[in-house]
Structure 1
Amino acid sequence: MPSIALDKQTERQLDKVRAAVRRRTGQPISRTELLERLVEDAYSSRGEVVDMFRTSQAYVADEDSGTVHRPERKLVPGGAKQPDE
């Protein structure tokens, strides 16, 4: 597998996600496996991923509370295949 250069912040975030998986499941996960699963998830929701890059806001601010969050995604395992874009 080719190597991918990540900045230090992204590496730290990736390692925090790995640690959370290990704590919550009791199973270690490699960086490679985590990235493969994230890409698989993004691939099955690629229309939403493309939309994140189409708009200037990947995150949304709640007008009432001012809280910033990522829009909810509803993923259905084994859902319908999406055509390549």
Structure 2
Amino acid sequence: MASIELDKQTERRLDKLRAAVRRQTGHPISRAELLERLVEDAYGSRDEVVDMFRTSQAYVADEDSGTVHRPERKLVPGGADRPDE
């Protein structure tokens, strides 16, 4: 597996996700396994991932609260019409 550099905030978030999985499932998970699952999920919804990079609004600010969030996305599993590339 290739090594990649992550900024401190991304590392913290990744570790918080790992901790949540461990707490809620009772099973430890490695960073690599978590990243593999996240990529698998994103790959199944790759059109939406690509769209996030097409627009400058990958994140949206709520005008009332000022909270910044990522717009909801519907996960679409890959199928015959979306063969692995």
Instruction: Using structure 1 for the length normalisation, give the TM-score.
Output: 0.81
Structure 2 residue 43 is matched with structure 1 residue 25? no
**Hey, which bits of structure 1, 4+ residues long, moved more than 4 A?**
63-66
Distance 1:43 1:79, change over 3 A: closer
Share of identical aligned residues, percent? Answer: 85
Q: Residue 28 of structure 2: SS of its match in structure 1?
A: coil
Corresponding pairs, count: 84
Instruction: Name the aligned partner's letter for residue 55 of structure 1.
Output: T
Distance 1:29 1:10, change over 3 A: same
Q: What CA distance in whole angstroms lies between the structure 2 residues aligned with 1:31 and 1:67?
A: 28
Q: Which has the higher contact order (CA 8 A, sep 6+)?
A: 2
Structure 2: give runs of 5+ residues left out of the alignment. Answer: none
Instruction: Using structure 2 for the length normalisation, give the TM-score.
Output: 0.81
| Structure 1 position 46, deviation (Å) | 0.7
Instruction: Calculate the aligned-residue CA RMSD, in Å.
Output: 2.2
